[in-house]
Chains A and B, each alone.
Chain A
Amino acid sequence: SCQVCPKCCARDPTVGKSALAQMFRNDGAHFQKNYTLVSVQQAQTEFFIFDSAGKDLFSEMLEKLWEQPNVLCLVYDVTNEQSFNNCAKWLEKLRAQAVGVHIPGVLVGNKTDLIGRRVVEQKQAQEWAEKHGLEYCEMSVKEMKNFEAPFHILAKSFHQLYKEKVETFHSLA
């Protein structure tokens, strides 16, 4: 089976979200694209990625961009506490956009390469993610470390949702 999920990536400016989206979807390719494929249990999950700008200037466009979102990737900068604090705002915005529908999501701490400048601890972020029903992972886009993890987490969650829904359809039939 093949799932296509429009994936909302929200973040504050400069946390490195676009770098993540670009690295992941281009996978060494010489052209830009905004979709990518991930395999989970022999099922292919195709991501159609909406990279949402973190600047307030663009916030009005988000509602249009985020119509019927399927999964969420929320990126913050581990060296910037404000970017972490803003995650609550982004999450709230997205959930308001999808009332009554479960949106699997992952919180991603980026820039783990800047060890000396880190201000948001893993434990703190992990707890926040858990409290809000999100998965958690960390990465360094700069060092190309773990940058595939959020996509694999989301593909797995989305595939799981699909399997559960199909079970429901079976029981209703």
Chain B
Amino acid sequence: MRAIDWCRSSAGAALVLATSSDEQHPAENVADGSSETFWTTTGMFPQEFIIGFPKCVKISKVAIQCYLVRTLRIERSVSKDPVGFQQCIEKGKILNLNQQGFCGNNVLSFSATYLRFIIKSGFDHFVSVHRVMAEGTAENT
């Protein structure tokens, strides 16, 4: 089965929660497949958003394109509803790893129906997230 990016609205991904909601820069922008559009945080950390997939998928790679994020934690849930999250990735000093590109290209293998991106701290009052990506295949159920 071919691996696709499940964090795309065109693949059926939906933003179920975001802690900041500037109408000009909504969280949906992280799933539109474009690096030009972005979600902004507008206040105190932590900040987070949750992406839901149309079904349980097997993820092999997670990436995020963002600016000024200092520490990030990614959690997953395999529940039908966005509950029961468990941590799967934690990164510090993301900005220093790769300022302009996708950060944290990890080879992974886990199942998820939801991914939760928690920005624990930033290098500034505000940070932006331009794209997130979770490559994988649909699980046979």
Contacts and interface: CB of A to CB of B under 8 A. Distances in A.
Nearest to A159: B42
A68 B23 contact: no
A160 to B, nearest CB: 11
Nearest to A173: B36
Contact of A1 (B24, B44, B67, B123): B24
A173 B21 contact: no
Nearest to B121: A68
Nearest to A46: B43
Contact of A101 (B45, B125, B128): B125
B38 A1 contact: no
B25 A166 contact: yes
Contacts of B123: 100-101
A165 B24 contact: no
A161 interface: yes
A2 B21 contact: yes
Q: How large is the interface on A (under 10, 10 to 19, 20 to 34, 35 or more residues)?
A: 20 to 34
B35 interface: yes
Contacts of A48: 44
Contact of B128 (A70, A100, A169): A169
Interface stretch (A3-11, A23-31, A117-125): A3-11
Contacts of A161: 125-126
A133 B74 CA distance: 38
Contacts of A158: 125
Interface string B19-39: 011111100000000011110
Contacts of B45: 68
B20 to A, nearest CB: 8
Given A162-B125, A165-B125, A165-B126, A6 B23 contact: no
Interface of B: 20-25, 35-38, 40, 42-45, 67, 100, 121-126, 128, 130
Interface of A: 1-6, 46, 48, 68, 70, 100-101, 158, 161-162, 165-166, 168-169, 172-173
Given A1-B23, A166-B22, 12 more contacts: A1-B22, A2-B20, A3-B43, A46-B43, A48-B44, A68-B44, A101-B123, A101-B124, A169-B128, A173-B35, A173-B36, A173-B38
9 contacts: A2-B42, A5-B125, A46-B43, A100-B123, A162-B40, A162-B125, A162-B126, A166-B40, A173-B38
